[in-house]
Structures are given as C-alpha cells and as structure tokens.
Amino acid sequence: MKKIVFVVFFFLSFSVVRAADNEIYSINLDKETITKGYTVTAFDDELKLSLAPGILNESTNVEIVRLNEEMPSPWNLDRVSNIYQFEFKNKAAYDNHTPFYIQFAYSEQTGDYKKVFFYDKNYNTWRPLPTKDFSEEKFVRSLIHLPFARIAVFSYPKIMTSGRASWYAYKGGNFAASPDFPKGSKLRVHNQANGKFVDVIINDFGPERHIFPDRVIDLDKIAFLKISSLGEGVVDVRIEPLYIEKEDGRELGVPDFGVGVEPDISLKSAIIFEEESGKELWGKYSTSTLPLASLTKMIAVKVFLDTKPSLNREVAYSTMDAEYNYEHCKPWESSKINLKEGEMVTIEDLVYASLVGSANNTIETLVRVSGLSRASFIDKMNQTVLGWGASSTYFIEPTGLSPDNVSSARDYAIITKEVLVNPIIQKASTMDKYKFITVNTANSYRVSNTNKLIFKDLYQINGSKTGYLDEAGYCLMTRVESPLGNNLIVVTMGADSREASFTETERLIKYGLRLL
C-alpha cells in the first residue's frame, strides 16, 4: 500500500499599516500557535515579544505600534530607541502572572548603562524593568508582565559599562572601586580581549572620572588576576551589573515609582538659578519667605570685607562675643571655635573659620572689630541685600541663629551671585578644611566644611554654604560651573535631614545642568 504523507502549513496573518504619524504592526495568534509558543517580531527585528508556551491561554491579536508622537521624557535619562506600544487585544488571553521576554534593539552604542522602561500613566513616570544589555549586538532583553505597555530603552548618562579597568591593592579579594555604582553593588567584569570574567563587590570609590575619563572600574589586584596578568596594567572591559545597591531608596537615582519630566523634590523651597541671565530655570515655592539659618553668614562676611580690612591684622578674641549667640540658643547648641579669652588671631583666620566651619562666635568677633556698631553692621547687611534686589530678606542678627533671619530661595540666589564676586568668600566657601594657630598661645584649631558635595569631586563647585535650625530645617546653597562656563546656583531650604539636603540638591544640580 502506498503511504501518503500530508504536510500542513499554518499561516499567521499580519499587517503593517500607518495611522497618522504612527506605524502599526498587527498579527493574529491562534490557539494552536500559542500552545507551541511564538516570538512576535516587528519592524525589522527592532522589537520581539517571546511568548513561550503557557504565556497566553486564548487566541488573540497582538498589536505593536511604533509611536512617533511626542511623549514626556525622564529628566535624568537619555532615550536611545524608538518608543513602542504593544497590546494583547483579547484581554482574557493573558493573566499577568507569568512574565515574558522582550528583546529591544537600540539605535546607538553609547557605552552607558541601559534599561527598558515602561510608561506608567497613573504616576506619569517611566518605570524600569529588569534588563540585560547585549551591547555588542545593540539590543537589550527584559522581563515584563503587562498585557499593554508603552516601552523604550533609556541610557543613564555617565554611568559607564564599557571602558578600561586598572588594578590596585586594597582588601585582597574580589572587590573593586567604582565611580558610578554604589558600595555594596555586585558587578560582573568581562575582559574584552580573552572573554574571562570575575564577579566583584564594590567597596570603594574611584577612579576619578575627570582624571581618567575612560576608566570604568579599579579592580582589587586579586580580582584583576582572574581576568588578566598584573603586567597588563589596564585592560578593556565590559561591566554587567548583577545587583545594584540602592541609595535613598533609589537605584542609580531612579525610584521604584519611576522618573518623571522633573525631579521629585520634598524640600519646602528650592530654586535652580542661571547666574548670568538671572533666569529661574526651575523652582518650588521659590519666593516663599523662610528662616535662613547659617546661610546668613555669607552676607555678614561680605559686609565685613567691604570695610576693606587687612587680612593680616591681629585681633584679640573675647568670650563675650559668644554671648550674643546664646541669646538664640544654649551654649552647647552653637557651632563655635573654642577660642580662649585674649587669644590673638588674624582677620583671615576669623573669616575662614566663619565660612569653612560656620562658627557663630567668630562672626560676632568680626562684627566687633569691623569699626561699626553691632546695630549699624546688621543694618548694613539689610541695606546691602535690599540694594541687590533681595526684597524678601531680613536680618536681626549676623549669624543665622535667629529664626527671624529670613529670605527666599530666589532672594538667596540673587545674594549668592553678588556675594561670590568676592574671591575670598568664594575660596573659603569651597575649602574642605581650614587650620590655624593662634598668634600668642600657639594653640591649633581646625574646622571642616559640612557640605559633603564638595568632597565628591563630581561637579565644578565654586560656591557653597550649609545651614540648619530647628525652625529652618536643613538649608544649602551650591554654585556649580557648567561645561559651558556659566554658573548654576541651586538653593534648597527646609529639608528634613542633612542627607536629604545633599541628595535633593544634587538632583537639582544634575537637572539644572541638563536644562542648560
């Protein structure tokens, strides 16, 4: 008997149409196809949905749209792909419980860290998805469990995943220093030349990106030996993040609820101010009048220096100077230099102690030796800022200890512009520490700057002042020179903690630099 073999071909119908500016790819998946599993491939392999057996439980039409319409973008990320929207038209076909893979091509190889994000309309934010980057092939693979989503690939500017690795001796294990990934993160480091890799824990910061712009990581020499010989010195590597430690509840600055078009800021008041133009680039209640705390000291020092003193002049400290401070706080609450009665110090030492260390008692010493009465000095402070246009600012004492010293974020940005014209104030405000020795007793004193942003070495900071009162919260002024050469002034007021003051100021610095 002759055997007859039947060959049956299944044809899936699909179509590509254009609707307005968008392009739509549509394919119908029948019951037999979803049982076997199917990869939906659209727009010349730019986007693939890998629907393994069991992902779908009913036949459905799958629609993928290449969106060419305007959409909000995350303020701190760069989009490196088209925006796509996919949808399972039969809502009963997918129950959201089993995630499936997306393979997503991107347009350019930047060397920066990349992830797939989906747009969450409830929050108006882009939210990250678990992603693995195949940088050599220029695509990412991600897991998702949504029947409908708008998705795109975004890169994290200046978070590098390819470049060069060096080695150094530190803890003697599988550890590394990174300028991008926080301590506690786990990274897989691939040697591009020989394919070897090592998994390391980040336990240190470095190398400094401004000194070594192509250096992505410093490996402990024990870890370096697992992918190369020490004699190589530096090797080309690719970084694959396995786990990223969160800071302030965020992964590389991105919270779980996603990123919107502006930073999410909890401060009472803040401003991003472009110094040359006097333009407010961004603000939150920037004209609200609030206690100023130790930001006051910048104006006090400016008024003092306007009297044209000799910085080498020696003056005697009086413990009575600190008594003015105690009108507004307990003696143990005041930031001060523990100078002794009659100790001789130079004017220069008093200025630097007042700005670098934010000492309250040395401000009062400057007022006493200024040649003005205390009342006249304070009146001069008020006249000076009013002349600059800071009409919401008022002082009743020169240190900031009184909550009745008030200003607004916008006023203080104007004040900053004028005060930092003085090179002494500019220098003192950004010094990390200052040490001096009294003239007649040879006692040594040392103060440190409390703005930890100046220690990060990530920005060209050329002006800085911190402040705190219970009534004011944590306040911070930071002036940064942009790559364009102009100055950006960020003033933040009313933070709940010192750490929040730093992290939210840094967010606004990054945002302001991108706005420029």
Instruction: Please write the tens of the pLDDT for every residue from 25-83.
Output: 999 999 999 999 999 999 999 999 999 999 999 999 999 999 998 899 999 999 999 99
pLDDT of residue 360: 97
User: How many alpha carbons fall within 13 Å on the CB side of residue 136?
Assistant: 6
Count CB neighbours of 225 within 10 A: 13
Q: Which of 58-67, 414-423, 455-464 has the lowest mean pLDDT?
A: 455-464
Angle between helices 423-430 and 296-305 (to 10 degrees): 140
Q: Using an 8 Å Cβ cutoff, are 362 and 428 in contact? A: no
**Contacts of residue 461, Cβ cutoff 8 Å, sequence gap at least 6:** 430, 453, 454, 478, 479, 480
**Element of type H or E holding 33:** helix 31-36
pLDDT of 310 strictly over 50: yes
pLDDT of residue 214: 93
pLDDT of residue 425: 97
Q: Is 391 exposed, middle or buried (0-12, 13-18, 19+ CB in 10 A)?
A: exposed
pLDDT of residue 456: 78
Q: How far is CA 498 from CA 330, 493, 501, in A?
A: 21, 11, 5
pLDDT of 16 strictly over 70: no
Of the pLDDT bands very low, low, confident and very high (cuts 50, 70, 90), residue 8 is very low
Instruction: Give the dihedral sign, CA 12/18/23/24.
Output: negative
Amino acid of residue 133: D
Mind listing the domains of the chain with CATH numbers?
Answer: 14-155 (2.60.220.30), 161-249 (2.40.40.10), 269-515 (3.40.710.10)
What are the tokens at 206? 């470095």
**Residue closest to 398 by CA, chosen among 437, 427, 359, 426:** 359
pLDDT of residue 97: 86
User: How many alpha carbons fall within 13 Å on the CB side of residue 422?
Assistant: 20
Q: Which residue has the higher pLDDT, 459 or 367?
A: 367
Q: Which of 263-272, 447-456, 487-496 has the lowest mean pLDDT?
A: 447-456
Q: Which of 17-26, 132-141, 250-259, 468-477 has the lowest mean pLDDT?
A: 17-26
Mean pLDDT of 493-507: 95
pLDDT of residue 415: 98
CA distance 328 to 451: 24
Of the pLDDT bands very low, low, confident and very high (cuts 50, 70, 90), residue 11 is very low
pLDDT of residue 12: 56
pLDDT of 507 strictly over 60: yes
Q: Are strands 444-448 and 460-469 parallel, antiparallel or unpaired?
A: unpaired
Does a cis peptide bond (omega within 30 degrees of 0) precede residue 207?
Answer: yes
% of the chain beyond a pLDDT of 70:
96
pLDDT of 186 strictly over 50: yes
% of the chain beyond a pLDDT of 90:
90
Q: Which residue has the higher pLDDT, 424 or 12?
A: 424
The pTM assigned to this predicted structure is: 0.88
Q: Which residue has the higher pLDDT, 457 or 381?
A: 381
Instruction: Give the dihedral sign, CA 393/396/400/406.
Output: negative
Per-residue pLDDT tens over the stretch 232-283: 999 999 999 999 999 988 999 999 999 999 999 999 999 999 999 999 999 9
pLDDT of residue 381: 98
Q: Are strands 215-220 and 162-168 parallel, antiparallel or unpaired?
A: parallel
pLDDT of residue 4: 41
User: How many alpha carbons fall within 13 Å on the CB side of residue 307?
Assistant: 21
**Residue closest to 257 by CA, chosen among 74, 127, 150, 115:** 127
Mean pLDDT of 119-132: 95
**Residue closest to 140 by CA, chosen among 110, 169, 184, 119:** 110
CA distance 475 to 464: 11
CA dihedral 237, 238, 244, 250 (to 10 degrees): 110
Mean pLDDT of 401-407: 98
Beta strand extents in 310-455 (DSSP E only): 314-316, 344-346, 406-407, 433-437, 444-448
**Residue closest to 505 by CA, chosen among 265, 186, 153, 209:** 265
Per-residue pLDDT tens over the stretch 146-160: 999 999 999 999 899
Mean pLDDT of 101-117: 91
Residues in the chain: 516
Mean pLDDT of 220-238: 97
**Residue closest to 467 by CA, chosen among 456, 479, 454, 451:** 451
Q: Mean pLDDT score of the chain, rounded to an integer?
A: 94
Q: Are strands 314-316 and 100-105 parallel, antiparallel or unpaired?
A: unpaired
**Contacts of residue 21, Cβ cutoff 8 Å, sequence gap at least 6:** 68, 69
Q: Using an 8 Å Cβ cutoff, are 304 and 425 in contact? A: no
CA distance 454 to 73: 29
What is the per-residue burial (b if ≥16 Cβ within 10 Å, else e) of 231-258?
eeebbebbbbbeebeeeeebbbbbbeeb
CA distance 477 to 463: 8
pLDDT of residue 21: 80
Mean pLDDT of 319-339: 95
